[in-house]
Amino acid sequence: MIGNKVLVVGSWAKAQITIENLRIRNLNIRIFAYMSIKNPAIISLVNGYKIGDFNTVNDVVGYAKKQDIDLVIVTTAEPLSVGLVDALEKKKIKTFGPRKQAARLETNKAFTRKLMKKYEIDTIPRFRVFNNVDDAVQYAKDLNWNVAVKPVGLTEGLGVKVFGDQLKTKEDISRYIRQIFSERGDSKVLMEEKLTGEEFTIQFFVNGNYIIPTPAVQDFKKLLVGEKGPNTASMGSYSDSRYLLPFMTQKNYDDALDIVRKTLAAFHSETGEICQGFLYGQFMITKDGIKLIEYNFRPGDPEWMNTLSVLKNNILEVIHRLLNGEKMFLQFEDKATVCKYIVPRSYPKKLYEVLDVSFEEWMIKKEGVSLYYSCGIDDQGKLNIGSERGIAFIAKGKTIFDANEKVEQAISLVKGNFYHRGDIGTKELIESRIDHVKELRQ
């Protein structure tokens, strides 16, 4: 068994719920956190913590050494993209997360698309990668402007813009391509055919070609009711009891698993390296079957809250068995979940804002709702969203609607100036998703 001193790297809600999970049936565990902000909830849960910069890999490694850590669990992309896992391994510190090469499945969207194309994993939109504005604009024109425009690297969920959503006209498309090269200073842009359909997420524990899947979750990235407004890092999510969503078939789920298995095998053939860590796949049900939208090599936020609030296993045990090459199934409570973020009214236009709210936590808990923080305490002692969002409210229920009612009831107890999406998890919304998929299948 892996020893009992664990370091969780990550500042936000998904790190918080990971830490909570690690305490399930493990009273002797000692948990440390490396965070980029002061998350008030995490501070109250851990045996020790350090605030630092995720890009300063040596500082994270130094902290792990100082605390004599047995296992490091990485829940956030930034340190993975700069080689944290490689650096920890060099110091013989056991880690659960992808090495820098494998993290490219998330950190380099062009790499992933090209890999899948080369290995004929024929479940992706048409795409091309460009290193100049004119050719990229010409490609958009060739696709009749029906495109998704993507900076190639990490964008914290805010960089992808799609025609008809964030980009209304062809001028918007050309302007955004130009902006990627000039303001963001990127050297490449990924241009994709715009797909239409219904999206879902599946998260996995991965070691080499072996994957342990978790239930599907649906994530809501748009700020406003009815999938309108700018993209956010996500406003909420739901999952159903068992593994599927109300609009999904078992075949949809199995097809998504097949895409992941093929991608991992392709990655191994291409690089000789293995993948390890929490893999997040975002998929779309389209009229032509399941397509891959993107991979992240970390848990999803808020999806990880849906998944861990019903997971009965202790993650430390899962990782231990996975790293030992043992096969296993996870056990989940037979419950639906709904998660919603409360955010400042100026989000996502303005980040680093104070979340000016007050509530009695015991009253929220009495409603059967748990809170997870994607915000920190600033120098004035106020809750500040930093580069993130706000507070996630999550409930379990017999159905998605039951869970939603609990979350809404809890949010109604919050005083102050905030916004949340009322529609996620309502009957109307779910029915519209079911109808949408029926239309696609016709």
Q: Which residues are at the interface with ligand AMP (CB under 6 A)?
A: 125, 148, 157, 160, 162, 192, 194-195, 199, 221, 282, 293-294
Binning the chain into helix, strand and coil, the percentages to the nearest 5 are 35, 30, 40
Of 209-268, binders to ligand GLY (CB under 6 A) are 219, 234
Residue 282 CA, distance from chain mean position:
9
Q: Which stretch, 54-62, 167-175, 264-272, 295-303, contacts ligand GLY (CB under 6 A)?
A: 295-303
Q: Which one, of 342, 352, 353, lies nearest residue 418 by Cα?
A: 342
Q: Which stretch, 57-65, 116-124, 267-275, 300-308, contacts ligand GLY (CB under 6 A)?
A: 300-308
Residue 360 CA, distance from chain mean position:
28
Q: For ligand GLY, which is the closer residue by CB, 63 or 220?
A: 220
Q: Does 303 bind ligand GLY (CB under 6 A)?
A: yes
Residue 118 CA, distance from chain mean position:
26
Indicate which of ligand GLY, ligand AMP, none lies near residue 195 (CB less than 5 to 8 Å, by partner kind).
ligand AMP
In whole angstroms, give the CA distance from residue 377 to residue 384. Answer: 6
Indicate which of ligand AMP, ligand GLY, none lies near residue 301 (CB less than 5 to 8 Å, by partner kind).
ligand GLY
Indicate which of ligand AMP, ligand GLY, none lies near residue 293 (CB less than 5 to 8 Å, by partner kind).
ligand AMP
75: Cβ contacts below 8 Å, ≥ 6 apart: 8, 9, 10, 14, 15, 18, 278, 298, 299, 304
DSSP 195: P
Indicate which of ligand AMP, ligand GLY, none lies near residue 162 (CB less than 5 to 8 Å, by partner kind).
ligand AMP
**At closest approach, how far in Å is the CB of 295 from ligand GLY?**
10
Is 318 in a helix, a strand, or coil?
helix
Q: Which residues pair with 212 in a beta bridge?
A: 205
Is 296 in a helix, a strand, or coil?
strand
Indicate which of ligand AMP, ligand GLY, none lies near residue 296 (CB less than 5 to 8 Å, by partner kind).
ligand GLY
Q: Which residues pair with 415 in a beta bridge?
A: 358
Total of residues contacting ligand GLY (CB under 6 A): 7
Which residues contact ligand GLY (rule: CB under 6 A)? 157, 219, 234, 296, 300-301, 303
